[in-house]
Amino acid sequence: MEKQIIPQKLFSALKVVFVFIALFFFKGAIAQTQTFTSSGTFTVPAGVTTVQVEAWGGGGAGGGVASGIFPPTRAGGGGGGGAYAKNSSVTVIPGSTITVTVGAGGAGVGGADGNNGGSSSFGGLVTVSGGLGGKHGSTSPTNGAGGNGAFGTRNGGNGAAASGGNSGGGGGGAGTSGNGGNASGMTGGTGGSGGGGNGANGRSSNGDGADASALSGGGAGGRNSSSQWGSRTGGDGYRGQVIVTWVCPAYNITAISAVTPICPLPGTSVISLTGSVTDLPVGSYTVTYNRSLPAAAGLTTTMTVTTAGSGTFTATGLTTSGSPVITVTNLSSGAPGGICSSVISTNNSVSVTVNAAPSVSASNDGAVCAGQTIQLHAVASGVTFQWSGPSGFNSSLQDPSISGAAAANAGIYTVTATDPLAGCSATATTNVVVNALPTATASSNSPVCVGFTINLSTPSVSGASYAWTYLMVSQAQFVTLQFQMLRL
């Protein structure tokens, strides 16, 4: 058999290709990018320990022009372009939140130097500067100098000085693979290859400077003359940006379990997920799951993995007795705009037994007067009872009573019935009314002479009934007694 020999260089190349395929396809790794055009935060997804950061600084503003009624013409210089910086391996901590600052374009100012472009930063780990603002034109000097471009992995272009009665153009913003071009006279600098923005063009007529309109470009200077001598504003520079790129791991689980049985109140079960240290790395996750009873899909909750390979979350809404199934469908990590997400389709379901809660009702014998006995009742079978109520009342009897009722005993009484086998509980309430005793005052027209009428009376009480006793019984409010004189 003839033996084939593979050249060494070809073998090395094939090995590199194989490693690439293994990393990005076999392991399910996915490249992800988040672009910040304004300041914000980046939340590091679980399993991500390094990121690539690209940052652009803001372009500087063009110089303004001071007012004046005497010639000659005045003109401002162009702003410098913002720089570009790149770090391909920035170490980050999974679950941490990093502040991202996007440098604003420098703002033009009437009759003054343009403001510098803002610096962009990724949590201070990567920082790049913005271009300098152009100088303003005035009586002396009449022509403002251009602002310098910023330095970085790629440099921003310089803004042009005003000359010949014309304002200077802005410097070009840096690109990923080329420096921003320097402005030349009124012509703005060309943006660097790989995304840099052009600088704004200067002007030969009177007016404010033109704003830059693309990434990190510098603004143009303003211009005036003795015939139009008002203050002029330099053009604004354009903002920077920050791009974060990383490789998402593929999340997965190999086993799932649940705390079971449970009760419908509160109706929650702790679900445990298990995987390899690479399938379930340390970090903060959002878990998406379905519940079969009561049926609900796309439920979400959070899970924090502190030890790689295992994590727990709480499934809620398990309020119906039976055997609902919890199915995990997705694990994701990060924040909107920068999320790593994996569909989970195997080893992802677990059944939870939800025991039935006991049925209980509560009642009392009705309103009582102060000093009488309150009688409570609970109806349930095969359970233990625990009552609570006003004034610290507690009892483990099914039908407890309270003697010598007072106003403080009035209110809501709650009974908790607990099934000692299943451990589930249910509650019921009843409202007790305690009425105060009425105040009775009796009076008469006594003394009277023999043979005259005795009148007994008491103040009227709404809803009251009356009972008089004195060697007689009467239920009237007013009683008249007539005594006859006996003659012997």
Whole-angstrom Cα distance, residue 175 to residue 475? Answer: 107
Q: Do domains 251-351 and 361-435 have the same CATH topology?
A: yes
The answer for 475, left when phi > 0, alpha when psi is -120 to 50, beta otherwise, is: alpha
Cβ count within 10 A of residue 106: 36
Share of the chain above pLDDT 90, in %: 78
**How far is the CA of 377 from the CAs of 14, 112, 426, in angstroms?**
84, 87, 15
Only one residue has tokens 């660097």, namely 192
Residue that wins the pLDDT comparison between 25 and 232? 232
Read off the DSSP letter of residue 408.
G
Average pLDDT over every residue of 385-392: 98
DSSP string for residues in 43-93: EPPTT--EEEEEEEPPPPPPP-B---SSSS-EEPPPPPPPPEEEEEEEE--
User: Is residue 351 classed as helix, strand or coil in its secondary structure?
Assistant: strand
pLDDT tens-digit series, residues 126-157: 999 999 999 999 887 889 999 999 999 999 99
Low-confidence winner among 36-40, 191-195, 467-471, 474-478 (lowest mean pLDDT):
474-478
Confidence of residue 15 (pLDDT cuts 50, 70, 90): very low
Tens of pLDDT, residues 406-443 = 999 999 999 999 999 999 999 999 999 999 988 888 88
pLDDT for 34-89, tens place per residue? 999 999 999 999 999 999 999 999 999 999 999 876 667 899 999 999 999 999 99
Mean pLDDT in the chain?
A: 90
**Topology, domain 251-351:** Immunoglobulin-like (2.60.40)
Confidence bin at 179 (pLDDT 50/70/90): very high
- CATH number for the segment(s) 361-435: 2.60.40.10
pLDDT at 476: 63
pLDDT higher at 252 or 486: 252
Residue 17: what pLDDT?
35
CA of residue 462 relative to chain centroid, distance: 60
Beta bridge partners of residue 428, listed in sequence order: 415
Neighbours of 402 (CB within 10 A): 22
> In this predicted model, which residue has the larger pLDDT, 461 or 248?
248
Q: Is the pLDDT of residue 7 over 50?
A: no
Q: Tokens 């195997």 — which residue? A: 346
302's CB contacts (< 8 A; 6+ apart) are: 284, 285, 286, 287, 313
High-pLDDT (> 70) share of the chain, %:
89
| Strands (E) located in 141-240 | 223-224
Torsion of CA 249, 252, 257, 259, to 10 degrees: 30
- The per-residue pLDDT for 29 is 61
Distance from C-alpha of 155 to C-alpha of 171, rounded to nearest angstrom: 10
- At 27, is the pLDDT very low, low, confident or very high (cuts 50, 70, 90)? very low
Which has the closest alpha carbon to 352: 320, 326, 313, 319?
326
Whether the pLDDT of residue 189 is over 90: the answer is yes
289 touches 315 (CB < 8 A): yes
- In this structure, the number of other CB atoms found within 10 A of the CB of residue 451 comes to 10
Domain boundaries defined on the chain: 30-248, 251-351, 361-435, 443-482
